Amino acid sequence: MGRNNFQIKLTQNNIIHNFNYIKKYTQKEIIAVVKANAYGHGLKEVVSILSSHGCNYFAVARESEAMEILSLNIPEIKILIFETVNDFSILKKYNNLEMVVNSFYELKELINAKVDFSQLHLKFDFGFARNGFSTDEINLVKETIIKNNLYFKGAMTHFFSSNIDESKKIQNYFLKSIEYIGKDYFSIIHSENSATTLLNIIDGSTHVRCGISILGMLDPGIIDENIKRSWSLSGPIYDIKDFSNLDFIGYERIENINTSNFSKVGKIKIGYGDGFSKRNTDILCHIRNKEYPIVHISMDTSFILIDDLVEIGDNVEIYQNFEKCNAFLKMDHYEYTTLLNSRIPRIIVK
Ligand SMILES: *Cc1c(COP(=O)(O)O)cnc(C)c1O
């Protein structure tokens, strides 16, 4: 790692705590959702932590993400891919890969390709324009399943909001549809994401699919004191300049920046090349428990207005308070954590 680099620190014990807490709380098996680089936490790091502490079932959105997990060569793990893969032959090549059947058309394709249905999960859609076959196709689907003797690994659906009544209604349709087709065709049943899992409102599933909650983040509006944050972003000030010598901060003329109360500018090694977008301009970061504004962001470097209390080498924390940052950025925390790319090293701490 380069000198003075920014780092994302993952607190291993908190991730393990969250996983065990959710498991105990729901009394169901967990499929750990680690899509989008584990929401920016680091796919390889998170899978390694979880797989060595009792989690052997993971889910991702894309085929490429599943390949990245497979490259870790972790024995005895299963990986579910939500989106349809490009070539069904990879399911034959890797029997620990599983895939969601996202339409009736795909179901027929998969029968023709002679894929092992114990690697497939049938997705039920209840009219929210996401993936899955829709309710008016259920008779066709049922006929096809019975005629071809298709025994799936799972039946699944997805809740489109964390609205309690809406989610309960969908679960009800879902369970009735499974019953109608025949329960025996599905060995596991799953629908819950983090929000509905933590609200504890869904009956009838065998597994939950949790992502953000395992990583210690909650959806806006969901409160659970037992979920522990596991993520932080920080790095040192590597250079300090006095305003008196400067015409520009980065590429910005000093007179265009509100510099009141500050006398100096501190530089840090993070920029939009790391996924720290210019949209963060003027966000407050934390140095020695005090807030300072990041006033300019370039590709590799960002510039903070500071005072005499700050010294070279001081630790700068960005996104310390998710709630405040979400309000400032008009973005959810899991969106900006996901945006930070692999140029920032992920470090696992106890
Ligand atoms: C992302 C995703 C999840 C996990 O959602 P969280 O809110 O992160 O728990 C579960 N199921 C599907 C289909 C998803 O796309």
Residue 296's pLDDT band (cuts 50, 70, 90): very high
Q: Which two tokens stand for residue 161?
A: 């909001």
At 131 the three-state DSSP class reads coil
Amino acid of residue 66: A
Distance, CA 245 to ligand 1 centroid (Å)?
51
Residue 130's pLDDT band (cuts 50, 70, 90): low
What's the whole-model pTM score?
Answer: 0.95
- Domain extent listing, the chain: 11-210, 231-349
- CATH number, domain 11-210, options 3.20.20.10, 3.40.309.10, 3.40.50.300, 2.40.30.170: 3.20.20.10
* Per-residue pLDDT reduced to its tens digit, 76-92: 999 999 999 999 999 99
- Indicate the fold that domain 231-349 takes in CATH: Lyase, Ornithine Decarboxylase; Chain A, domain 1 (2.40.37)
Ligand 1 neighbours, Cβ below 6 Å, are 33, 35, 82, 158, 193-195, 209-213
Average pLDDT over residues 136-160: 94
Q: Which two tokens stand for residue 119?
A: 């690697």
At 181 the three-state DSSP class reads helix
Of 33, 131, 202, best ligand 1 pocket probe by most atoms within 8 Å of the beta carbon: 33
The helix or strand, by DSSP H or E, that contains position 329, with its residue range, turns out to be helix 322-329
Average pLDDT over residues 222-249: 92
Q: In this model, does residue 129 exceed pLDDT 80?
A: no
* Confidence (pLDDT) at 139: 94
Average pLDDT over residues 2-25: 96
Q: In this model, does residue 259 exceed pLDDT 60?
A: yes
- Measured between alpha carbons, how far is 46 from 232 in angstroms, rounded to an integer? 14
Q: Which residues contact 173 (CB under 8 A, 6 or more apart)?
A: 124, 126, 135
11-210 and 231-349 share one fold = no
Of 209, 210, 219, best ligand 1 pocket probe by most atoms within 8 Å of the beta carbon: 209
* Confidence (pLDDT) at 131: 65
Average pLDDT over residues 274-300: 97
Question: Is the Cβ–Cβ distance between 255 and 295 less than 8 Å?
Answer: no
* Per-residue pLDDT reduced to its tens digit, 182-218: 999 999 999 999 999 999 999 999 999 999 999 999 9
Residue 294 phi, psi dihedral angles, 5° rounding: -90, 110
Gyration radius (Cα) of the chain, Å: 24
* Per-residue pLDDT reduced to its tens digit, 301-324: 999 999 999 999 999 999 999 999
* Per-residue pLDDT reduced to its tens digit, 49-75: 999 999 999 999 999 999 999 999 999
Helices (H) and strands (E) in the chain, counts: 11, 19
